[in-house]
Structure 1
Amino acid sequence: MKKLMIVLTLFVSLAAFKRDTSTRTITGTVTDAGDGQTLPGVTVSVLGSKIGTQTDGNGKYKLNVPANAKTISFAFIGFQTKQVAIGKSNVIDVKLKATATQLSEVVVKAYQPQKKKSFTASMAVVMTDKKLSGRVAGLSISRAQVVGNNGYYNYNVPAPVADNESYKGLTENKFTNSVNEPLSTFSVDVDAASYSNIRRFINGGQMPPEDAVRVEEMINYFKYDLAGPKDNEPVAIHTELSSAPWNPKHRLLRIGLKAKTIPTNNLPPSNLVFLIDVSGSMSDANKLPLVRSSLKMLVDQLRPQDKVAMVVYAGAAGVVLPSTSGDKKETIKNAIDNLQAGGSTAGGAGIKLAYKIAAENLMKKGNNRIILATDGDFNVGASSDEDMEKLIEKERESGISLSVLGFGMGNYKDSKMETLADKGNGNYAYIDNATEAQKTLVSEFGGTLFTVAKDVKLQIEFNPGKVQAYRLLGYENRVLDKEDFNDDKKDAGDMGSGHTVTAFYEIIPVGVKDGFAASVDPLKYQKVQQVKADLNPSAEMMTIKFRYKEPTSSASKLSQAVVYDKSVDFKQTSSDFKFASAVAEVGMLLRNSKFKQKASFDHAIATAREGKGSDNEGYRAEFIRLAESAKALSTSNAIAKVDDED
Structure 2
Amino acid sequence: MEGKIMKKNAKGLSLLIGSSLLMTTLAGCGGTSNMTDSTASEAEYYQNDTYTEGAAQAPVNSDAKSADERGKYSAGTNNNYKYSDNTTDNYYGDKKVINNNESYTKPEENGFNLVMNQPLSTFAADVDTASYSNVRRMIEDGYAVGEIDPESVRPEEFINYFNYDLYEPEKGDLFGITTEVSACPWNSDNQLMFVGMKTGEIDMEEAPVSNLVFLIDVSGSMSSRNKLPLLQKSFDELVDSLPDEGTISIVTYSGEEKVVLSGEPMSNKKGIKKAIDKLHANGCTNGQAGMQKAYEIAQKYFIEGGNNRVIMATDGDLNVGISDLDDLEKFITDKKDEGVFLSILGFGEGNYKDDKMQTLADCGNGNYSYIDSLEEGKKVLVDEMSSTLYTVAKDVKLQVEFNPANVNAYRLIGYENRMMDDQDFNDDTKDGGEIGAGHSVVALYEIVPARSPKAIDLKYQDEQKAVSGEKVKYAHEFATVSVRYKDPDDDKSQLFSVVVGDDVVTENPSDDFKFAGSVAEFAMILENSENKGTSSFEDIIKTYKELEETDDYQDEFFYLVKTLSKRS
The answer to whether the superposition gives a TM-score over 0.5 is yes
**Map of 1:137 onto structure 2:** 56
**Aligned match of 1:601:** 537
Counterparts of 2:330 and 2:297 in 1: how far apart (Å)?
19
Does 1:260 find its partner at 2:260?
no
Tell me if the contact between 2:115 and 2:403 (Cα under 8 Å) persists in the aligned partners.
yes
**Matched residue, 1:370:** 310
> What is the deviation of 1:114?
8.8
Partner Cα distance (1:451, 1:228) in 2: 17
The aligned amino acid for 1:573 is P
* d(CA) in 2 for partners of 1:519, 1:511: 10
Other-structure match for 1:287: 227
> SS of the residue aligned with 1:511?
coil
2:509 corresponds to which residue?
Answer: 573
In 2, are the aligned partners of 1:465 and 1:535 still within 8 Å (CA)?
Answer: no
Q: 133, 136, 148: which one pairs with 1:199? A: 136
Provide the C-alpha distance between the structure 2 equivalents of 1:348 and 1:60, rounded to a whole number of angstroms.
37
Percent identity of paired positions between Structure 1 and Structure 2? 46
The amino acid of 2:165's aligned partner reads D
Q: Is the partner of 1:439 in helix, strand or coil?
A: helix
**Aligned counterpart, 1:420:** 360
Q: Is the 8 A contact 2:521 2:536 kept in 1?
A: yes
CA contact (8 A) 2:122 2:397 kept: yes
Q: Which whole-Å CA distance do the structure 2 matches of 1:284 and 1:58 have between them?
A: 25
Q: Distance in 2 between matches of 1:547 and 1:530?
A: 35
| Structure 1 counterpart SS, 2:355 | helix
Letter in 1 for 2:104: Y
| Counterparts in 2 of 1:122 and 1:548: CA distance versus 1, 3 Å | farther
Amino acid at match of 1:477: N
Q: Distance in 1 between matches of 2:388 and 2:151?
A: 25
1:556: which partner in 2?
Answer: 493
Cα distance change on mapping 1:212 and 1:605 into 2, 3 Å: same
**Letter of the structure 1 residue corresponding to residue 559 of structure 2:** R
CA contact (8 A) 1:235 1:453 kept: no
Q: Deviations over 1:7-31 (max 9, x none)?
A: xxxxxxxxxxxxxxxxxxxxxxxxx
Give the alignment partner of residue 333 of structure 1, picking from 273, 279, 282.
Answer: 273
Matching of residue 271 in structure 1 with residue 217 in structure 2: no
Label 1:119 to 1:528 Cα distance change in 2 as closer, same or farther (>3 A).
farther
Counterpart in 2 of 1:488? Answer: 428
Q: How many residues align?
A: 500
Q: Does the 8 Å CA contact 1:301/1:442 hold for their aligned counterparts?
A: yes
Distance 1:387 1:76, change over 3 A: closer
Whichever residue aligns with residue 538 of structure 2, its letter is D
The letter of the residue matching 1:221 is Y
Q: Which residue in 2 is equivalent to 1:613?
A: 549
Name the counterpart of 1:26. Answer: none
1:536 shift after superposition: 2.9
Q: Is the 8 A contact 1:546 1:560 kept in 2?
A: yes
1:119, CA displacement in angstroms?
4.6
Q: Deviations over 1:215-272 (max 9, x none)?
A: 0000111111122112232211111111111112211111111101112111111000
The aligned residue for residue 226 of structure 1 is 166
Residue 547 in structure 1 maps to residue 487 in structure 2: no
Aligned positions of 1:154-165 closer than 5 A: 162-165=99-102
Report the CA distance shift for 1:235/1:619 in structure 2 as closer, same or farther (over 3 A).
same
Separation (CA, whole Å) in 1 of partners of 2:175 and 2:310: 25
- After superposition, the C-alpha distances for 1:146-166 in whole angstroms (9 at most, x for unaligned) are xxxxxxxxxxxxxx9742100
**Structure 1 unaligned blocks of 5 or more:** 1-55, 62-74, 79-105, 107-112, 140-159, 636-646
Q: What secondary structure does 1:180 align onto? A: coil
1:599 to partner: Cα distance: 1.0
Query: Is the aligned partner of 1:347 residue 2:284?
Result: no
1:163-562 alignment, distance < 5 Å: 163-206=100-143, 207=145, 208-382=148-322, 384-514=324-454, 532=465, 534=470, 536=472, 538-562=475-499
- Label 1:161 to 1:248 Cα distance change in 2 as closer, same or farther (>3 A): closer
The answer to whether the 8 A contact 1:312-1:350 is kept is yes
1:77 CA displacement = 8.0
CA gap 1:358/1:236 in 2 versus in 1, 3 angstroms: same
Can you give the 5+ residue segments of structure 2 that lack an aligned partner in the other structure? 1-9, 26-32, 44-48, 59-96
Cα pair distance change 1:619/1:338, threshold 3 Å: same
Matched residue type, 1:366: G
CA distance in 2, matches of 1:189, 1:497: 14
Residues 392-423 of structure 1: CA distance to partner in whole angstroms, max 9, x if unpaired?
A: 11221110000000001001000000011111
Partner of 1:179, secondary structure, is coil
Aligned partners of 1:225 and 1:131: how far apart in 2?
Answer: 32
**8 Å CA contact retained: 1:273, 1:354:** yes
User: What secondary structure, in the 3-state scheme, does the structure 1 residue paired with 2:549 have?
Assistant: coil
Counterpart residue type for residue 619 of structure 1 = Y
Contact 2:166 2:196 (C-alpha < 8 Å) held by counterparts? yes
With over 3 angstroms needed to count, the CA separation of the structure-2 counterparts of 1:564 and 1:134, relative to structure 1, is farther
Mapped to 2, the partners of 1:258 and 1:444 lie a distance apart of 14
For the residues of structure 2 that align with 1:540 and 1:531, how far apart are their CA atoms? 19
**Structure 2 residue matching 1:300: 3-state secondary structure:** helix
Preserved CA contact (<8 Å) 1:583 1:608:
no
Structure 2 residue matching 1:252: 3-state secondary structure: strand
Q: Distance in 1 between matches of 2:537 and 2:397?
A: 32
SS at match of 2:379: helix
Specify whether residues 188 and 466 from structure 1 end up closer, same or farther in structure 2 by C-alpha distance, changes over 3 A only: same
RMSD: 2.9
Question: Letter of the aligned partner of 1:459 in structure 2?
Answer: Q
Aligned residue identity for 1:539: H
Per-residue deviation, 1:455:
1.1
- In 1, are the aligned partners of 2:247 and 2:264 still within 8 Å (CA)? yes
Structure 1, residues 438-480: CA drift from partner, whole Å, max 9, x if none?
Answer: 1001100100100111111111111112111000000111110
TM-score by length of 1: 0.73
**What is aligned with 2:35?**
118
Q: 1:574 to 1:138 in 2, by over 3 A?
A: closer
Aligned with 1:504: secondary structure?
strand
TM-score by length of 2: 0.83
- Runs of 4 or more consecutive aligned structure 1 residues displaced over 4 Å after TM superposition: 75-78, 113-117, 122-125, 517-520, 527-533
Whether the 8 Å CA contact 2:200–2:438 is kept in 1: the answer is yes
Query: Structure 1, residues 271-299: CA drift from partner, whole Å, max 9, x if none?
Result: 00000001111111111111111111111
- Structure 1 residue 132 displacement after superposition: 3.6
Distance 2:461 2:509 in 1: 38
Q: Secondary structure at the match of 2:238?
A: helix
